[in-house]
Amino acid sequence: MDRKSAGDFLSTFGGQVDRFRREMERCVELDSYMYIVVEKSLKAIEKEAVFTKGRRAPKLGWVFSNLISVQHEFAGNCQFVFTDSREHSEEVIPKLLSLGEKLWNVDVQYFLDKEER
């Protein structure tokens, strides 16, 4: 399990993705699965990026390209889950851990998004 704030997510996938890939390679070697729980929704991350263009924030296109690349490279060993807040992450993480392998082939984000409607 890897819990990330929105800033940490942007930093990792905007420039430190090779370090993350090494972590995922270790995960694969151990025949493990990793949930990357980001403590902000994709919509909120996109919305904030519109207002931070003047700062040195990574370009979202690059961040999402790296995310998709990692998802494909490590398919079957990781899943990204975007929650609304730290509190929401604290609710979701124990459920992910308790259900373990049962959720490895389930699109958890689909159910979280459906829950919001």
Tokens of 57: 């924030």
Q: What is the pLDDT of residues 37-90, one digit of tens each?
A: 999 999 999 887 765 555 555 688 899 999 999 999 999 999 999 999 999 999
Rg, Å, the chain Cα set: 14
> Residue 77's pLDDT is what?
96
pTM across the whole model:
0.89
Given this structure, which CATH class describes domain 2-116? Answer: alpha beta
Whether pLDDT at 101 is above 70: yes
> Residue 46's pLDDT is what?
87
> Residue 51's pLDDT is what?
59
Calpha distance 41→58 (Å, rounded)? 17
Domain ranges of the chain: 2-116
Tokens of 48: 């904030």
Q: What is the pLDDT of residues 12-33, one digit of tens each?
A: 998 889 999 999 999 999 999 9
